Structures are given as structure tokens and as C-alpha cells.
Amino acid sequence: MRRSPRDTEESSRKISRRALLLGGAQVAIVAGLTARMRQLQIVDSKQYRLLSDKNRINIRLLPPARGLIYDRNGILIAGNEQNYSAVILREDAGNVRDTLDKLSELIPLSQEDIHRTIRDVKRHSPFVPITVSDRLTWDQLSRVAVNGPALPGISPEVGLSRYYPLDEDLAHVVGYVGPVSEADLKDNPSPDPLLQIPKFQIGKLGVEAKLEEQLRGTAGLERVEVNSVGRVMRKIGEEPGRPGENIQLTIDAKLQDFLMARLVGQSAAVVVMDVEKGDILASVSAPSFNPNLFVRGISIKDYAAYRDNNHHPLINKAVQGVYPPGSTFKIVTGLAALNSGQLKLTDKVFCPGYLKVGKRIFHCWKHGGHGWLDIEGAITQSCDVFFYTAAQRCGIDPIAHMAKRMGLGEAPELPMSAIASGLTPDKKWKKKYRHQDWLIGDTINAAIGQGYVLTSPLQLAIMTARLASGKAVVPRLVKSVDSVEVPVVPADALNLPQPFLDGVRKGVWGVVNSIHGTANYARIADTSMLMAGKTGTAQVRNITAADRAAGLAKPDQIPWNERDHALFVAYAPFDKPKVAVGVVVEHGGPDHSAAPLGRDALLFAMTGGVPPLSAYPARYRKEIGAEFNALKLRNIEPQPPARSRA
């Protein structure tokens, strides 16, 4: 059937409309594709070119800022300083050796440095940054940055490194940090990822080591875009870590500095304690060492100088050193004899200058003897025979028990390294460790702090604080953490009869303030700060009959390391005790070196600065003033308050 012209016209109109719609759609699609291609190839070409051809996203650990350490008054004693370094990433470096050789043309790198870096690169994952060289100057850092394109995998870094502004003053207390070692990793079965970063610094000694986890903080993450040669093109994102906690110690840095200055040239230790709270105000071991040398990598020469020094600067004598307490131990013997009921406050003992036990003679330090003495007079004049007799009456076990009650023979729990427990021997100890029976001669030797008895300066300070307060004072080293005060644990009572404590206290008051006292030369003239104390001498070698017949050699004629140790313990003010001190001067001999040191430590702690000359007897003021003027003290000022998370 033939179509009409009208139908044909209508059909043509419909076909033209469809063609137009289809063509328009095609044009739109082509236009869209063209626009997108233009966007990709022209407008965004730079961005996609960077992301192509081996470009990648790297994730890096960001070491946190180590927590700061302050003294009780806000003086910085361990801080962080900027450290410029060059690091290498194995996954971006290509030929590591070639890259390091090129780097050595820009900054000082020894063959040892290069070999060490190659070894570290092989040991760690490809994405772990390995420090090639640190403590670069700004000029050296700039050279590394400018030559980045020619150094694949090498990038300049700005980080933080530990430093100790007071150098030797607090080295034994605070300690130091150093790079993570293989031993450190073995000691941590599931180590913090931060410990995998070569040359990451962790605490190695002292507070830095004992409070490592608090001071370290937690790592942050950084996402960076690098190109085909490993050069960082841009930072994509960062998740900051948590910085370490700031620690405030109970130490008074100015008192510590004063005592260090007083001890120049000596081998000695001093511990100063708050009688009520137990705060350690000073813990001095002289000579000391510079912890900054260990942080930076101490040289063989410097380490050998410390190691070979006969005054042993690397040993913390204040807590690690143990010494026979000598006559300072008579405080313990006296309390033990009284508390056992075998000695009364009114009992008197005659001292002819010796005590004969069997075939052996035990001498008193005063050859002519002291005559009749009660416990107060015996402590004041430090009569050996009185305490030989008292110890015979009560026996060694009550003495050992009282020693532990007074803080001896036990290592206090403090964040310090190598704290010694000392030794308070008894019958069981000798049987177990020496496989021998306890003898009466052992008891007599122990009565005056000789024989097997060993104590540290810290323990002597604890003993003195307990005598002064009548409480079992516990030492404390950390005052606050991130400005949050660490609670003081109330001390339990010693549960000793008050008359016994008072009787011994009168004796130690007389040591310093009586004309017959063994430390009368070190008394304090200011009646508001009068101190009580006890001297002691610890023998380093046995005195033979030949020595006695020869009248003993003069101290300056005896080799230094064979001279007796000088000890002193004290507290002040006598009527309202606030501060206690324990002092040991190695090989100080009978030259009155320990008592003046303890006196000056107490005065500084009570007055808050260099003691005023008015506190001393008039006859000594000129000499003491000259000594103080010669001291090289630091100008120490508190730092701005640290951040707080409280």
C-alpha cells in the first residue's frame, strides 16, 4: 500500500528529531570527555605526574619530645635542645654505599660512620629512617637540603637531643640518655616501636633510666609524599604523639651545687633529707662526671680518664657506696641496748681505755680512757668501751634488728641506679654466708660500726632523720609529675620509748655543743639553728701492734687510699628538727673534714642560700668567709613553668 505524502512528511520529521537528539548526546559526551582529558592532561598534569612513576606515600614515626626534669624550685636540670641530623631511608636510597659516599663530600663522615650506617640499614626495615650523622651545623644541614635531588633517600631532619645544663652537679642523680642498644632490645620482649629507630635515645642511668617510660612519651605519625628518588615532595598529614611527662624532683639544685663546690678535690658523698617528708634535698657524690659527654658519645680518652681516676667519679657514692659506719653506728647500739632492757639510762660503765675479752684486747680511741660514763656522756665523747659493754649485754641480734628499724641494711625504693642495701649482720647471716659461728669479737666490732657492718650515706641520713623525728621516715625523690604533686606517705612511729630517744638525742646534742664533744669545732653559733650530730671514723686497714708501738704514722705520711674514712651525721634545729644529713669523706682521716661539711649543708638547707657568717662562732668567721668567697658557684635561676596535663 502506497503511503500518502502526508505520512511521508510526518515520518521524515520524526527521523530528523531523533537524529538531532542522538547527535546532541554524542556531542555532549565527546565534550565531557574532552574537558576531562584537558583537566587530567593540562590542569592537573603536575599533580598526577608527581604521583606517577614510583611516587609513593611514606609513613614515618615522629619521636616525641622527652619529658623535662626540674628541681624542687623549678630549675631545669635535664632539657632538650635542637639537633640537626641527616637520615637515610633504604627503600628510597638505591645504592646506599654510593649515596653515603656522595654525602661524605658535603658533611664530615668517617669510614666508621659509613660502615655503621650500612650495618644499621641492613638490620632494620626499609622504611625505618637511619641516622647517618647528627649534631650538624646549620651550614652542613643546608648543604644536605640543597643537594637533596642528588642524594636519593637522604633527608635533613630537625629533632631534639638531651642536654644537662648543670653538667656534673646532678649526674649521679639524673643520669643520662644514650642510643638504644641490642641489650636494651633484648630486655624488652615487646619493645616500643620507638626503640627500633636507630640512635633513639633512652635513659641509661639514674632517674632517666628508672622513669624512662614516663619521660619517653608516645610516638606520632607523619605521612609524606616522596618522588622516585626519595625526595620528600610534601607533607600529607601528621598525627602528633604525646610528649613525655615532666618530672620535678625533691632535689634543691642550689644546695647540690654548693656542696659540689665544697667537695672539689675530695672523694666524698653527702645526702641531705627533710626530716618530716623524707624529701631528698641533696644527693652528692664527688667527684662527678659530665653526662653530656655520654649523650654525644664519649671518646675513649674521656672515658679512660674517668675510669682510671682513683676517686671513682663514675660511682654514685651517695647510694651505691657502702662503708663501715664507724662511731655513727653507736646511735643504733645505744638504742638496741636500751630497748632490750639490758642497759638503763642511768647505768654507768668505766672506761680505762680498753676492754679485755678472753685473750684479746679491744682498745678505745682515747688511750687513757674516759672514766665513768652514762649513755649520754658515752655518745658525746664517743667512748668505745661503753658500747663494747652495751653490745655484750644485749647481743648482736637486737642490734641488727634495731639497725633495720632505723633504715640500715635495706635498699630504699627510689628511682636511682645501683642503690646498695648495705649489711647489718647477725648470727644467721654469718652462718649462711660465711659458714661460721658468730663470735663475741664480732659483736664488739659491730658495736662501733666496724667488722661486717656496712652502710651508705643515704642510709646514714635516713637513720638520722628517724632519730630526729621518732618516725620511720621514708626517703622521697619525686615531688611532682606534670605539676601534679606526689602524695607524701605519712611515716609510722618507730614505737621506741620517748625516754630512750631523748637520752640518745641528748648525747648527739653534746657531740657538737659540749666542750667534751668530738665535733665541738663544728658547732653552730646561731641558737635558732643548733644542730645535734655524731662523728665517726671507719678504719680502712687494721692497726697492728707495731703501729701502736710506733705511735701510728701521721695522716699525711699514710698513703691516701689507706687512710680512714671520716663520717658525720647530724640534724637541725635540735628542738624542732627539719633537716638531716649523712656525710662520708673517703680517706678523710681524723682531719675534721666531715663535720664542717655536714654543718654547712644543714645551714644552707635551713637558710636557703650560702650560710650567713653570723651562724658560725666568731673565731671561725674570717676563715669560713674566705672559703666561701673562693667557691665557684653557678648562677642558677628557675625556668618558666612547664606544661601541665593536670
The predicted-structure confidence for 488-539, as pLDDT tens digits, reads as follows 989 999 999 999 999 999 999 999 999 999 999 999 999 999 999 999 998 8
Residues 271 and 401 in one domain: yes
* Position 129, amino acid: P
> Do the Cβ atoms of 331 and 358 come closer than 8 Å?
no
Mean pLDDT rounded to a whole number for the chain: 87
Is the pLDDT at 187 greater than 90? The verdict is no
User: How far apart are the C-alpha atoms of 11 and 14, rounded to whole Å?
Assistant: 5
564 and 450 Cβ atoms separated by less than 8 Å: no
Does residue 127 carry a pLDDT above 80?
A: no
Cis peptide before 156 (omega within 30 of 0): no
Phi (first) and psi of residue 197, to 5 degrees: -80, 115
For residue 46, tell me if it sits in a domain: no
Question: Domain count of the chain?
Answer: 2
pLDDT value, residue 378: 97
Nearest to 250 by CA among 270, 211, 277: 277
570 and 444 housed in the same domain: yes
Same domain, 302 and 437: yes
In this structure, are 89 and 142 located in the same domain?
A: yes
Are 596 and 221 contacting, i.e. CB atoms less than 8 angstroms apart?
no
Domain finish residue from 196, 215, 249 = 249
The verdict on residue 580 lying in a domain is yes
pLDDT score at 551: 54
- Same domain? 437 vs 584: yes
3-state secondary structure 444-456: HHHHCCCCCCEEC
| pLDDT score recorded for residue 249 | 98
Residue 109 lies in a domain: yes
Q: Report the C-alpha gap between 84 and 61 in whole angstroms.
A: 17
Please check whether residues 230 and 282 belong to one and the same domain.
no
User: By C-alpha distance, which of 317, 313, 263, 316 is closest to 290?
Assistant: 313
Query: Is a pLDDT exceeding 50 seen at residue 646?
Result: no
CA distance readout (Å), 84 to 203, 224, 472, 558: 21, 19, 50, 53
Domain range for 75 is: 57-249
Q: How far apart are CA 173 and CA 209, in angstroms?
A: 11
Q: Residues 264, 213: one domain?
A: no
Residue burial 423-438, b: 16+ Cβ < 10 Å; e: rest: bbbbbebbeeeeeeeb
Q: Distance (Å, rounded) from C-alpha 364 to C-alpha 387? A: 10
Round the CA-based radius of gyration of the chain to a whole number and report it.
37
Distance CA 197, CA 219 (A): 11
Categorize the per-residue pLDDT at 195 as very low, low, confident or very high, splitting at 50, 70 and 90.
confident
- Say if 22 falls within a structural domain: no
411 within a domain of the structure (yes/no): yes
- Which residues fall within 8 angstroms of residue 453, CB to CB, at 6 or more apart? 324, 325, 329, 403, 423, 424, 425, 445, 446
Mean pLDDT calculated for residue range 404-411: 96
Determine the pLDDT at residue 438: 96
pLDDT digits (tens, 9 = 90+) for 231-266: 556 777 777 788 999 999 999 999 999 999 999 999
Where does 395-480 have alpha helices with state H?
396-405, 427-429, 440-447, 457-469
Q: What is the DSSP string of 73-141?
A: TS-EEEEEEEEEEEEE-HHHHSSHHHHHHHHHTTS---HHHHHHHHHHHHHS-TTS-EEEEEEE-HHHH
Are 535 and 379 contacting, i.e. CB atoms less than 8 angstroms apart?
no
Give the distance, in angstroms, between the CA of residue 222 and the centroid of all CA atoms in the same chain: 33
**pLDDT score of 442 more than 60:** yes
Residues annotated catalytic, as ranges? 327
CB 251 within 8 A of CB 480: no
The mean pLDDT of 561-568, rounded to a whole number, is 89
Residue with cell string 623525728? 469
CA 536 distance to own-chain centroid: 28
| Residue 295 forms part of a structural domain | yes
Size of the chain in residues: 646
Same domain membership, residue 338 and residue 477: yes
Number of H helices, E strands in the chain: 24, 21
Measured CA to CA, the distance from residue 403 to residue 429 in angstroms comes to 14
Looking at residue 82, which CATH number applies to its domain?
A: 3.90.1310.10
- Up-side HSE of residue 345: CA atoms within 13 Å toward CB? 11
Beta partners for residue 246, in sequence order: none
Q: Cell numbers 609529675 correspond to what residue? A: 481
Q: For residues 295 and 318, is the Cβ–Cβ distance under 8 A? A: no
How many CB atoms are located within 10 Å of the residue 365 CB?
16
Buried b (16+ CB within 10 A) or exposed e, 367-406: eeebeebbbbbbbbbbbbbbbbbbbbbbbbebbbbbbebb
Distance CA 135, CA 84 (A): 5
The predicted pLDDT at position 633 comes to 94
**Are residues 223 and 111 both part of a single domain?**
yes
Q: 191 and 301 share a domain?
A: no
Round to whole Å and give the CA distance between 580 and 595. 13
DSSP one-letter string for 613-625: GGGS-GGGHHHHH
Are 233 and 306 within one domain?
no
Count other Cβ atoms within 10 Å, centred on residue 109.
17
Q: Is the pLDDT reported for residue 545 higher than 60?
A: no
The cell numbers describing 583, all together, are 656525710
Question: Considering the domain boundaries, does residue 641 fall inside one?
Answer: no
3-state SS, one letter per residue, for 279-329: EEEEEEEECCCCHHHHHHCCCHHHHHHHHCCCCCCCCCCCCCCCECCHHHH
Judge whether 386 lies within some domain: yes
User: How many Cβ atoms from other residues are within 10 Å of residue 101's Cβ?
Assistant: 12
What is the band of 145 on the pLDDT scale with cuts at 50, 70, 90?
confident
The pTM (predicted TM-score) of the whole model is 0.84
Q: What is the CATH number of the domain that holds 316?
A: 3.40.710.10
Amino acid code (one letter) for 54: K
Residues 208 and 305 both lie in one domain: no
pLDDT in tens, 302-314: 999 999 999 999 9
pLDDT at 190: 66
